[in-house]
Amino acid sequence: MKHKKAKPVEEPKEIELYFLRAHTHGLLRRYLYSSFQPCRIGSVLRDPVGRGWVSSRPICTFEDAMLFVFDMEKCIKSLPSLDRDILTRTVLQEYTQAEAAVLLGMSARAMSYKFAAAMDRLTRKLI
């Protein structure tokens, strides 16, 4: 009996990544929440996070939270520094894209394009 070869994993197409951005955004928010649980404020953040939020999600075990935080940090740290800054300001610190553009010294239009590209790069890392 011959064994079938496993099909190679296909890279998601750009249009498919668009639909995964909301999920990636949710994972970043969960990362922020989970990093507070073990008293570990994400080490990828250069500035302290001044804005908090409350969630009604059930809290998982400490070990699960730590594994999730470490895995997310690994993916985030592998991004270019500009991508980390953009995602930190817009998703974790909850600045609007226009406010984050001013803080990072770029135009609002450039921020829009770079935010989408940063989300797609992080999505690829998470996949």
DSSP per residue, 37-102: TTT---TT-SSPP-------PPP--HHHHHHHHHHHHHHHHTS-HHHHHHHIIIIIS---HHHHHH
Percentage above 70 pLDDT, the chain: 69
pTM of the model: 0.67
Q: What is the CATH number of domain 14-39+59-126?
A: 1.10.10.10
Predicted pLDDT of residue 15: 62
Q: What is the mean pLDDT of residues 7-34?
A: 74
pLDDT band (50, 70, 90) for residue 16: confident
Average pLDDT, the chain: 76
Query: Mean pLDDT over residues 38-47, rounded?
Result: 50
**Cα dihedral angle (50, 116, 24, 91), rounded to 10 degrees?**
10
Q: Sorting pLDDT into bands at 50, 70 and 90, what band is 50?
A: very low
Report, as an integer, the average pLDDT of 61-78: 82
Greater pLDDT, 89 or 2: 89
> Per-residue pLDDT tens for 90-122?
988 889 999 999 999 999 999 999 999 999 999
Question: For residues 61 and 125, which has the higher predicted lDDT (pLDDT)?
Answer: 125
